[in-house]
Amino acid sequence: MSLILCIETATPVCSVALSKNGEILSLKETARKNSHSEVVTLFIDDLLRENKIQYTDLNAVAVSKGPGSYTGLRIGVSTAKGLCYALDIPLIAINTLRSMAYDMAEIYLKERKASENILFCPMIDARRMEVYSAIYNKDNNEVRETKAEIIDKNSFSEYLEQNQMIFFGDGAAKCKDVITHPNSVFYENIHPSAINMVLIAELKFQKQQFEDVAYFEPFYLKDFIAGVPKVKGLK
C-alpha cells in the first residue's frame, strides 16, 4: 500500500493532495495570492485529519520541483523535505510541466481520437513575453526539454508544421495572439495542481525513483533576481 502526500506550490495556485495506491483521496487548493506559506501546512493537517490518517502512516511525499515561482518552489520543497526528514520517508520530485502535460493529455484525448501528430506544450508565466515551457507527446514522453524562452511569431514553428500543438497554462494566454499558426490550439484556465501529480508520483514510488533529501534543490531554471525594496529612502 502507498499513501503519498503531493505538494504543488510552483505557481500562484497552492494545492495539496493525498493519494492511496494511485487513487486521489482528497485535495485542498487555493489561488489566493501570496498565501502558500500560510496555507500549505494547514492544508496538510486538514487532509490527514479528514481522512483519519496519521503523519506516520505516510509512505512518501511528492513535490512539484519546478520550474515556477522561486518563492513558491522554496516553500513547497522546504515543507516536503522537512516532512521526509522527520518521518524518515522518501522524497519524490515531479517536473511541474510534466504533470500539467499528463493531465492535459487525459482531458484532451478523452473526447478525441488519439493522434500521433499531437503535442502538448504546458506554459508557466515567467513575466513579460517569457515563459517556462516544454513539449510532450500523448504518452507524456518529453519531445523537447524544459526551457525559459521569449515567445515570438516563429516560436515552435518546426513542431507546428508537422503537428497539432495544444498550448495551456497561465503562460499560454499571453502567447495566443503571437502564435497564430493554424495547428495551434489554446486552452484557458489550466493550472498546475497536486491532483495531477498523483499517478506520476505512484509510478515513481513503485520504481523507487527517490531524491536525496539532503541535497535536493528545486528546478529554478533561472537565477533568482530580487526586486527593488519598496522602502522609503531606498532606491
pLDDT averaged over the chain?
92
The total domain count for the chain is 2
Strand partners, 16: 7, 28
Looking at the whole model, is its pTM more than 0.75? yes
Amino acid found at 5: L
Q: Identify whether 69 is part of a domain.
A: yes
* Residues 208, 91: Cα–Cα separation, whole Å: 10
136 shares its domain with 196: no
Give the burial string for 65-87 (b: 16+ CB within 10 Å, else e): bbbbbbebbbbbbebbbebbeeb
Q: Identify whether 224 is part of a domain.
A: no
Q: What range defines the domain where residue 155 resides?
A: 97-186
Helices (H), 24-94: 36-50, 70-87
pLDDT the model gives residue 230: 46
**Which cell goes with 217?**
534543490
Give the burial string for 91-123 (b: 16+ CB within 10 Å, else e): bbbbbbbbbbbbbbbeebeeeeeeeeebbbbbb
Please write the tens of the pLDDT for every residue from 43-56.
999 999 999 999 99
Please write the tens of the pLDDT for every residue from 197-214.
999 999 999 999 999 999
164 shares its domain with 133: yes
Q: Identify whether 140 is part of a domain.
A: yes
pLDDT at 163 over 90: yes
65 shares its domain with 8: yes
Please write the tens of the pLDDT for every residue from 98-131.
999 999 998 888 877 667 789 999 999 998 889 9
8 shares its domain with 77: yes
pLDDT at 85 over 90: yes
81 shares its domain with 106: no
Q: Identify whether 68 is part of a domain.
A: yes
40 shares its domain with 115: no
**Which cell goes with 114?**
488519439
105 shares its domain with 70: no
pLDDT the model gives residue 128: 82
